[in-house]
Chain A
Amino acid sequence: MRSVAGRGRCLCDILMGHTEMAVMNVREAINQTLHEAMERDPSVILLGEDVAGGAGTAGGQEAIGGIWGTSTGLIGKFGPERVIDTPISESAIIGAAAGAALAGMRPVAELMFADFIGVCGDQLINQIAKFRYMFGGKARCPVVVRLIYGAGMNSAAQHSQAFYNLLTAIPGLKVALPTTPADAKGLMNEALTGDDPVMFFEHKALYGKKGEVPDGVHRVPFGHARMAREGGDVTIVALGRMVSFAEKTADKLAEDGIGCDVIDPRTTSPLDEEVILDSVEQTGRLVVVDESPPRCSVATDITALVARKAFSSLDAPPECVTAPHTPIPFAPELERAYVPGPPAIEAAVRRTLDWG
């Protein structure tokens, strides 16, 4: 009963005859995508803290190569005017990205931890998100902000948050959360081709995850979810790292004859509402898995969507499997209790089935 997860090849790949698939992890996929994009388009620049690393030190440039390893090799190839190590100044980094974008470039700005939205929030929320609209549609601000997020690596309360819900709520921004190397490449290329600002969330615990990645300019449209597993009994919508937990759970439940649609939205703004609603219309049961805390999250957003638009299809109350309403704890046992996992997902699925 194991189903093969979609490889996410798009029509343009087939048309361009791309049949090669390399295997690499998410970190490598992002790195490769940046290399290729910066090669193709001279207006693409990268700025952030230590995106090269080592500026002004005895060890010299590229002593680090980016703290997540996603920007290795770029400064060597493209030089310090396109790969800009910045001081620790989140507002200035994101603000500079905003200004460069208004001036015609395609900047990729790295926010080393998504938690630092608190530091540069104005530039994201009041500036980048709103330029196009406030200026009557006559300006474009194609910034890609890469935010590194997620719990599970003992990084504690201020370095582990999943803030895609806050930015999804802001009109004018688009939000992407890739969960596979192919999607990391596809969504990044799509972001770098579009004219809208994109908040690109990279989960720290997914950097090592391997998968097949198509060659060439692989693109994944926004608002187009991926169905990781298919089944007729329960719809599980999972975000980011939670997708792989949902897949594990679905495979285990399949042994009991329980079939789950596992939906990876890939982007929360725009959100592929259609696939979620269509699925619930078939299954009648919804479980949403999100590592954010439970208030005003994407989980509650999706649950409300289904309650409003697929109410008559529901056979059981929808379930949200989320973190608790607490900051992220440090001790490993506590963090494990914080991050939702397969047992909690399975219990939620069974609770929905228990309604008959």
Chain B
Amino acid sequence: MQYSQDGLLRAYRRMATIRQFEERLHEEIAKGEIPGFTHLYAGQEAAAVGVCEHLDNDDMIVSTHRGHGHCIAKGCDVKAMMKEIYGRREGLCKGRGGSMHIADTSIGMLGANGIVGAGAPQAVGAAIAARAEGKGKVAIAFSGDGACNQGTTFEAMNMAAVIKVPAIFVFENNHYSEHTGDKYAVATDKDIASRARAFGMEVWRANGCDFYDTYETMAELLDHVRGSGKPASIELDTERFYGHFEGDPQRYRAKGEVDRLREERDALKIFRAHKTTDSLLELAQLDTIDADVNALIDAAVNEAREAEKCDPSQVEEDVYATY
């Protein structure tokens, strides 16, 4: 795989942005200023970025309730995202959606979604549109080890295979669906990817904490999908550092588990480790990016805090285009 310095720096920046965005949110949420439910993506950065770095604005993704990472990886405006999470008027969705419903359809981000499994059929539909466009674009459904059990996921995989559209089912297995482990909840004689295989589509597996592995595996997958127009699936083995939602006491974790994950399965650390053996980048460049991102997130939070709140008189706008 041929990498460019720019490409790698960009990938790292994206991952660092996701990490710091989520870590900062974890702090701010504890202060009580942010309304509602938030589901943090910290730990899964390599999955989102490893996939989305292959995509442009005409490729489409559908995300989950844990959608901040996919949003950032797809190129959504970070400050507008922060304002949305704070429920402000200038948020990406005018404060109407919040954390679970962040979207920017103009760049192919068809929304985070509060219903587990709802996205898979929507990606099939987006893939129908991609096929009709005829430009070799794809539609990706991000799912987890929870959504992989929803009926909608099976229906979507079946339908994608039957009608032959370029839909890609990315299963980010972070091993917990809410408070239940994948070893219990996912009935399979092998793994999640093998279920997709049973629908006759090609499947891949990769390390979802390692950008390089994910990126390179996705390259193969996308070649296949863009070339054949047929659906495919990939299972990414990854980890989430926080709870299902902010406020989850995480009693289901083993003692010291998260510390160990942050040591051994930290996507940023793994990325840096690659760089000690590859001379395309300097670690100092990565440090600069970290500092940049820090400033960006800081600014985002400050602006979001100061940003204008929503106007109650506008509550009825945007239900319909015309009524």
Contact = CB atoms under 8 A, between A and B. Distances in A.
Q: In the complex, is A directly touching B at CB under 8 Å?
A: yes
Contacts of B277: none
A131 B97 CA distance: 9
Contacts of B128: 45, 47, 81, 84, 96, 99-100, 103, 105, 107
A43 to B, nearest CB: 8
Nearest to B114: A126
Contacts of B114: 126
A223 B320 CA distance: 13
Contacts of B95: 136
Interface string A82-110: 10101101011111111111111101000
A95 B122 contact: yes
Contacts of B155: 87, 89, 91-92, 95
A132 interface: yes
A287 to B, nearest CB: 27
Interface in B61-120: 62, 91-97, 101, 103-106, 110-111, 113-115, 118, 120
Interface string B219-250: 00000000000000000000000000000000
A126 B92 CA distance: 20
B99 to A, nearest CB: 11
Given A92-B121, A99-B124, A136-B94, A174 B320 contact: yes
Interface stretch (A137-145, A160-168, A321-329): A137-145
Nearest to B131: A81
B185 to A, nearest CB: 20
Contacts of B139: 99, 103
A4 B151 CA distance: 51
A208 interface: no
B323 interface: yes
B123 A89 contact: no
B163 interface: yes
Given A92-B155, A138-B93, A99 B320 contact: no
B299 interface: no
Residue among B60, B94, B124, B156 facing the most chain A CB atoms (10 A cut-off) = B124
Interface string A104-140: 1101000000000000001100110011111111111
A216 interface: no
A235 to B, nearest CB: 24
B228 to A, nearest CB: 15
Contacts of A98: 121-122, 125
Interface residues of A, number: 49
A134 B103 CA distance: 9
Given A135-B101, A138-B106, A102 B122 contact: yes
B125 A172 contact: no
Nearest to A107: B125
A132 B121 contact: no
B158 A87 contact: yes
B285 interface: no
A195 interface: yes
A280 to B, nearest CB: 23
Contacts of B320: 132, 172, 174, 196
B169 to A, nearest CB: 12
Contacts of B126: 99-100, 102-103
B131 to A, nearest CB: 6
A194 interface: yes
A172 B321 CA distance: 9
Contacts of B96: 133-137
Contacts of A104: 129
B159 A172 contact: no
Contacts of B159: 86-87, 89, 92-93, 96
Contact of B151 (A47, A86, A91, A105): A91
Contacts of B1: none
Nearest to A82: B132
A103 B121 contact: no
A171 interface: yes
B130 interface: yes
A136 B118 contact: no
A136 B121 contact: no
A93 B95 CA distance: 30
B319 interface: yes
A134 B124 CA distance: 21
Nearest to A55: B162
B123 to A, nearest CB: 6
A270 interface: yes
Nearest to A130: B101
A127 B124 contact: no
Contacts of B2: none
Interface string A32-52: 000000000011010100000
B4 interface: no
Contacts of B111: 102, 131, 134-135, 139
Contacts of A42: 132
A91 B155 CA distance: 7
A69 to B, nearest CB: 23
B318 interface: yes
B313 interface: no
A215 to B, nearest CB: 25
Given A127-B113, A138-B105, A100 B322 contact: no
B321 A196 contact: yes
B317 interface: yes
Nearest to A95: B121
A167 B193 CA distance: 37
A139 B103 contact: yes
Given A127-B115, A174-B320, A196-B321, A99 B163 contact: no
Given A127-B113, A127-B115, A136 B97 contact: yes
28 contacts: A82-B132, A92-B120, A92-B124, A94-B121, A95-B118, A95-B124, A95-B155, A95-B156, A96-B128, A98-B125, A99-B121, A100-B126, A100-B128, A103-B130, A105-B132, A107-B125, A122-B152, A123-B118, A126-B114, A127-B113, A132-B321, A136-B93, A137-B96, A138-B94, A172-B319, A174-B320, A194-B321, A196-B320
5 A-B pairs with the lowest CB-CB distances in the bound complex, closest first: A95-B121, A99-B125, A137-B318, A99-B122, A136-B94
